[in-house]
Amino acid sequence: MRVLFSTHSGTGHFHPLVPTARALEAHGHEVAFCVPETFQSFVQANGFRVFPAGISFDSLSPEKLKEHQRQISMRSASPEQTEEHAAGMFIDTFARSKVPELQRVCESWKPELIVFDSMDFAPTLVGEKLGIPYASIQVGGGRMRMTDSPIFLRHLDALRAETGLPSDPRGQALFRYLHLAFLPVSFFGSELAPTAHHLKPELFDRSGTEALPAWVSSLGSRPVVYATLGTVFNKFNRPLAMIIEGLREEPVELIVTVGRDQDPEQFGPQPSNVHVERYIPQSLLLPRCDLAIMHGGYSSVQSALYAGLPSLVMALGADQPMNAEACVALGVSRLLDLASLTPEVVRQQVREMLKDGGYRERARKIQAEALALPGLERGVELLERVAREKRPV
């Protein structure tokens, strides 16, 4: 069968879809991606056929992009303000621009199934309009509570009307057929849709040429602490500077990744126990670590839990507060407040986390839950069933 994957630009949206796409290819299915044109070459470099559709984050006007960055990092914003901004961005801007182009792709390539990242709203509308079944893959915590959000559903209903679809005030079409979440039920609680199926995490983060640096194999017996702000919020270098200052003289090996688009040299010379790199695949690095300090991005949280790794989380915006809240509730994380962050706070929190083995024990319990879940073979079976039967699973 032909399966069309649809996603926003950015590795945080694309990477979670790659294992499923490759699993479908391994089972003999034809796969293609539909992404914004500026992201097309990146997806092609990973071996996929690509159709352009929609606009990307970097295609926004400088004013709109600056406003988006300001809004997602506003910790003082109310939930209503946050949802209004997110709906305006992901529905009114991204989905509205993508719907007509995605529809043309579907009408010409004729996929039997559409699979998309859970923050890409256009495929549900196009799939419903053309009678093509669809399935979503969880890529962030921001959509966990979406079906209960009147703000999101009001924006989505307006776009449904423009697309010629009837009102869906309860958001039942969002997860109509199938939703795949690559984390245990304990992380989400009861917030996912009835069509959600939980599968063993399948991590993909090697879309570049980076590998594990040679110096990692020579690390001694000291605890290894890893710090990252991901690939979007990595522009906030002040927290990383405080982490480095707080831990550079501690008896730990500190590994900091600043992102492919940032320069490690901006933090100046460091002692031998501090290693500042652009990008290291977390799937290779985290199994060697004892603690992670991170922003709470969904992919980073997923990778840490899969490695049975406790974490200190400083949620900077977007869906990160929800992810952080879930990790704290599981007893695998503590929160760092950016407003009161100092090197001394970082140092003390790291000392306490490394000393308290309970965090590691609980993280390994979640890891065991994740490893016990069905694998991608089950995911492929479910997707094939949806395409064949055209009804919810």
249-301: pLDDT as tens digits = 999 999 999 988 788 888 899 999 999 999 999 999 999 999 999 998 888 99
Q: All domains of the chain, ordered by start, with CATH?
A: 2-200+373-389 (3.40.50.2000), 214-371 (3.40.50.2000)
Min mean pLDDT across 29-33, 155-159, 182-186 is at 182-186
Which parts of the chain fold into alpha helices (H)?
Answer: 11-14, 18-26, 40-44, 62-72, 79-87, 96-109, 122-130, 150-163, 185-188, 237-247, 282-285, 298-306, 320-329, 343-355, 357-371, 376-389
382 pLDDT exceeds 90?
Answer: yes
Task: Please tell me the predicted confidence (pLDDT) of residue 103.
Answer: 98
Say which residue, 146 or 288, is predicted with more confidence.
288
pLDDT at residue 234 greater than cutoff 70: no
> Residues 137, 120: contact at Cβ < 8 Å?
no
Give how far Cα 156 sits from Cα of 86, 102, 116, 137, Å: 12, 17, 17, 19
pLDDT in tens, 68-103: 555 545 455 676 777 888 888 899 999 999 999 999
pLDDT on residue 237: 80
62 pLDDT band, cuts 50/70/90, is low
Mean pLDDT of the chain: 90
Structure tokens at 138: 């969880």
The pLDDT of residue 59 is: 65
Quote the pTM value: 0.91
Long-range contacts from 84-92, C-beta under 8 angstroms, 24+ separation: 84/151, 86/142, 86/152, 87/151, 87/152, 87/154, 87/155, 87/156, 88/155, 90/119, 90/120, 90/121, 91/121, 91/152, 91/155, 91/156, 91/159, 92/155, 92/159
